Structure 1
Amino acid sequence: MLCGALGYAAFGNDASGNYLTGFGFYEPFWLVDIGNLCVVVHLLGAYQVIIQPFFAFVESWSHSKWPESRFITKEYNFIGIYRINLFRLSWRTVYVILATLVAMIFPFFNSFLGLIGAGTYWPMTVYFPIEMHISKAKIERNSFTWIWLKILSFTCLIVAVLAAAGSIRGLVVSVSTFKLFHSVS
């Protein structure tokens, strides 16, 4: 959020989708490489946090749909400490490969990713945690704290809706100049 706000404040609509090289900054190479490494580490962690519930949903659904399938239910011990399930290994590998191919094929992947992020930001990061806090702390309805938490939640919902609108606009603009396997960000 900070990078987006500062980038827009500094460059307006000319803000690049890639802050490391989007403005012609390629030197010194080692600094750009360290920045890219930091982005990769950040995205790997974020990807794991976001995708694990989806993986768990598909795997539990598959277990309940085909409980007799050894491919889906059998766990193998590897080196005595790791449990490997062939379905989990193959399903997750195929998913990551497909997600990578989609990212490479579509040059407007930043806008698409922004739309997904805008759609998941408010419920996962704001609404559910606030509702859990209200429930756990037993905050009374219409109390001062309850009202301000609801205002915070609503404000973040507006931010998410605006971010989704911006991502949809980015997708519409990018689709008009679409060329397969070319980057536009």
Structure 2
Amino acid sequence: MDMEQGGDDGRIRTGNVWTATAHVITALVGSGVLTLPWSVAQLGWILGPFALVFFAFVTYYTAILLSDCYRSPDSNSGRRNYKYMDVIKEFRGEKDVIICGITQYAILWGTMVGYTITGAMSMMAIELSDCFHEKGHAAKCEVSGTLYAVIFGIMEIVLSQLPNLEKISFLSYIAAAMSVAYSFIGLCLCLVEFSSHPELRG
């Protein structure tokens, strides 16, 4: 059911269960899931699952904290905090706003750089794969990631200028579908690797 009526603050909200689910899947599942089997394999059968459960608990706990901070001082009927800085100002005071703001933007910049590098490396891998497929694995295929990084960075800058980007729900649907695809690819790769080792099947 759409929540189109205005709330206690007069704002019109059009989100529903499906848009919320798409946003959550997009936020939690990304391309990093492709390296999850390798990471668990490095940790082993004891530490690997333990790490998964531990970080799942951390994610759940921080999500609960953020939900409780949305309204203050009462979590059910208090004033809404629309921004992260509003939460910091309400719970930590003005003195911590600058420190937390610098930390927040440093993390955002680090994430942006990480995605730019990862995107460039992914496009390089595709080009290398095409080159080896056409010329053979013995061919010298050299690819520069600088151009791809610049293209990806320009795309990020252009998209960041769009007004109300967070309200374009179809982007979250596409991203959620990509997240499911990442998970499916990882699962298929694990099954292929498992089937290639008969000794593991007993």
**Smaller-chain TM-score range?**
0.3 to 0.5
Give the alignment's TM-score, normalised by structure 1: 0.39
TM-score by length of 2: 0.37
